[in-house]
Amino acid sequence: MAKKASTTKAKPKTKRSLIIVESPAKAKTITKYLGRKYKMMASVGHLRDLPKSRFGVDIEKDFQPEYIVIKGKGKILTSIKKAAKEADQVFLAPDPDREGEAIAWHIAEELKPINPNIHRVLFNEITKKAVKEAVTHPSEINMDLVNAQQARRVLDRIVGYKISPLLWEKVRRGLSAGRVQSVAVLIICEREKEVLAFVPEEYWSIDATLLGKTPPPFVARLIQKGGEPLKIHNAEESEALTAQLQNASYTITKVEKKERKRNPTPPFITSRMQQEAARKLHFTPKKTMMLAQQLYEGIEIAKEGAVGLISYMRTDSVRISPDFQSESLSWIGGKYGQNYVPDTPNLYKSKKSAQEGHEAIRPTGIDREPELLRADLSHDQFLLYQLIWNRYVASQMRPAIFDVTRVDISAEDLTLRVTGSILKFPGFTIVYSEGKDSNPNASQEPSDAESSLPELSVGDSLTLQQLDPKQHFTQPPPRYNEALLIHDLEDKGIGRPSTYAAIISTIQDRKYVEKREGRFYPTDLGDTVNNLLTENFPGVINVEFTAQMEQALDEVEEGGKDWIESIQKFYDPFAKNLEKAQTEMRDVKREEEPTDIICDKCQKNMVIKWGRFGRFLACPGYPECKNTKEFVEKEGEIKIIAKEIETDIVCKKCGKPMVNKTGRFGRFLACSGYPECKHTEPISLGVKCPEKDCGGDLTEKRSKKGKTFYACGNYPDCKFALWDRPVARPCPQCNTPLMVEKYDRNKGTTVRCRIKECGYVEAEQELRQSA
């Protein structure tokens, strides 16, 4: 008997919602909270942008941008389109800022014909509560944010594509200009001019060591003469005052006691985090933002899985959600005691331009103390998380309280002053204190630094024990480091906190500035390009105009200004400058500056020219004479750098001495018999390669970007390489056969194990043993 055909209908496949983020790490963290009802996909950043090979902006049609799919992103977009077609709705969840909104808009533009049911979701932190709340209450794409991003992108394209070819023609190929980066270089060049033009002024200070009725003795500084502030200009004045003080009697004329509060600093915004990470951790802004992104998107935590540890890191708001603040105050009371909890929650005021929809940078869980996560984080992730956590917790605590005593002492018509400060209640300082940049011209008057004084009363006579006159000289303003540059960029309104890392990284990559001992110096190239741009684009490449443009773009973001109108305001003066510059800009590439250096091959006076690697000395008899020399210029004097330094090493091929040369990728040994003998060797550091059965010597090399690294001389057979200088001795803790040198601004050069997980540091170990 034939079987009956089944009449049961197959259940329709339930459609899942599609959530698109820009990062695979973020996708992994969010998946944990939403489960299988949602399909997660990552765009891996922008999917569309202006074309690389052409201008891509139609100036005649209201600066209309031409967007294309970025090379290499076609497969990702195809996969997203396929998933969108099968989904009941699409949630776009890139970061909650201008770039994130632009990424979401570009994706939406591609998906609308396939699935118009598109929503925008925003979360300030990647936690279960925040993610579920965002998906439950989605919003629409904010076109004001999109237009603000478009305006910045178009402006940067106009400057880059119009000025860069001029620099290629007049200086050298491969150079670039940027609307904001060029102004950052300008600021550094202006500071360098101030430093070089600075004339130090001599001044003196006189300290007196005095003893009251009871010990200990204390030090007071001379501050007034005849009731007026005193400045001691030279040794003669100092000697006269010292003689007067030597014979004077000392009497206390004023004792002022007061309680002083030091309030905690607000939780981090982006720029403050970058500054503090530079001061305390010596991280570049680029590194800080990379680590913060990792902490925000999610880190694998034991027993928890992927967890977002901090709130969104691109913010200019110091606001904290009331719920999280209340939770934090309860935790602080339990951890440190109720006397550390303020009577009312600490509230901080953001700048006018801040987006109050965002929060400050804070931990997502107040109970996730840094030490509890140390095993789950890399060393650098831990340091940054600890900095963020400490800063946030401190911001919610009571002020520190000091008892401050200020004592004025008369010595004839002279007045000396001493200030003592005793910590009465530590408050927030038990967790965190903000770093400070050094001030080379700090006040001559003693500070309120913590120091105790004996019991002193008005009318007490004091005994002079010692006078200490000291000569000083005023110092020039400090050259910029990362923290100072970010502070001044923000203060002047140049760029925005989310762009500082890219600005500082770009101007170094372009070789416009270089970093020496933690400070930025303009290079010859940077100084030359800066002069050309400020001479030819004075109305555009300047601090005031750039700050006004940033303000206008902020207004676009807030919906108060049209983005096309803002670009037109920039373009009109720019176009006039550009037309003039094309005919009048100096042709540095063809300029020759005569010198009194004689060519050692043809006896002509050599000239300074511009080349691929900057200025160099060349013979004007080229092409008949091709003699060139590298040089440095110090205080107007030209000093030639020797190209070849003879060594006592013998060439293995012809027996002639080898010479030390510098090439494109660093120093190397070459036969002095060149061109007849072309034998070369890497310069050994005298350290053997640690790889098993290799036997090669480690050598110093330079990467394509000019960064020094250390690699095995047996390359390509052995590919061992290090960024840190190797030290030929084994780690006493883990026995790895090689240690490395690392430089720290506070500790100097330390020797440590090259295996990060070991963590052995020789200097620290010695300190522990001595303790």
Number of Cβ atoms within 10 Å of the Cβ of 234: 11
Residues annotated as part of the active site: 312
Amino acid (one-letter) located at 205 = S
Tokens for 156?
A: 């940067």
In angstroms, the CA 760 to CA 757 distance is 9
What is the β-pairing status of strands 725-727 and 739-744? antiparallel
Buried b (16+ CB within 10 A) or exposed e, 313-342: bbbbbbbbeeebbeebbebbeeebeeebbe
Residue 266, phi-psi category: left (phi > 0), alpha (psi -120 to 50), beta (remainder): beta
Burial 173-190 (b: 16+ CB within 10 A, else e): eebbbbbbbbbbbbbbbe
Q: Token pair of 667, please?
A: 């120093």
- The per-residue DSSP string of 372-386 comes to HHGGGS-HHHHHHHH
Q: How far apart are the first and last CA of the chain?
A: 95
228's enclosing H/E stretch is: strand 228-229
| Number of Cβ within a 10 Å radius of residue 547 | 17
**Cis previous bond, 730, omega within 30:** no
Closest CA to 511 of 167, 158, 7, 41: 167
**Tokens in use for 720?**
């061992």
For residue 453, the one-letter residue type is L
Show the tokens assigned to 711. Answer: 């690699």
Q: What are phi and psi of 72, to 5 degrees?
A: 95, -10
If DSSP codes are grouped into helix, strand and coil, which group holds residue 581? helix
Q: Is 5 exposed, middle or buried (0-12, 13-18, 19+ CB in 10 A)?
A: exposed
CA 587 – CA 201 distance, rounded (Å): 40
3-state secondary structure 629-661: EEEEEECCEEEEECCCEEEEEECCCCCCEEEEE
Give ∠ CA 146-147-152 in degrees, rounded to 5: 100
Query: What tokens does 20 get?
Result: 């698109």
Task: Find out whether 279 and 437 touch, Cβ atoms under 8 Å.
Answer: yes
Choose among 469, 97, 137, 483: nearest CA to 281.
483
- What is the per-residue DSSP string for 281-349? I---HHHHHHHHHHHHH-EEETTTEEE--B--SS-------HHHHHHHHHHHHHHH-GGGS-SS----P
Q: Give the C-alpha distances (Å, rounded to integers) separating 36 from 11, 30, 138, 184, 294.
A: 18, 11, 19, 48, 24
Hey, what amino acid is at 403? Answer: D
Give counts: helices (H), strands (E), the chain.
18, 35
* DSSP secondary structure letter of residue 85: H
Going by C-alpha positions, the residue among 89, 159, 432 that lies closest to residue 276 is: 432
Cα–Cα distance measured from residue 410 to residue 406, given in angstroms and rounded to the nearest whole number: 14
Give the C-alpha distances (Å, rounded to integers) separating 338 from 166, 342, 395, 618.
65, 8, 15, 74
E-strand stretches of 361-460: 400-411, 414-425
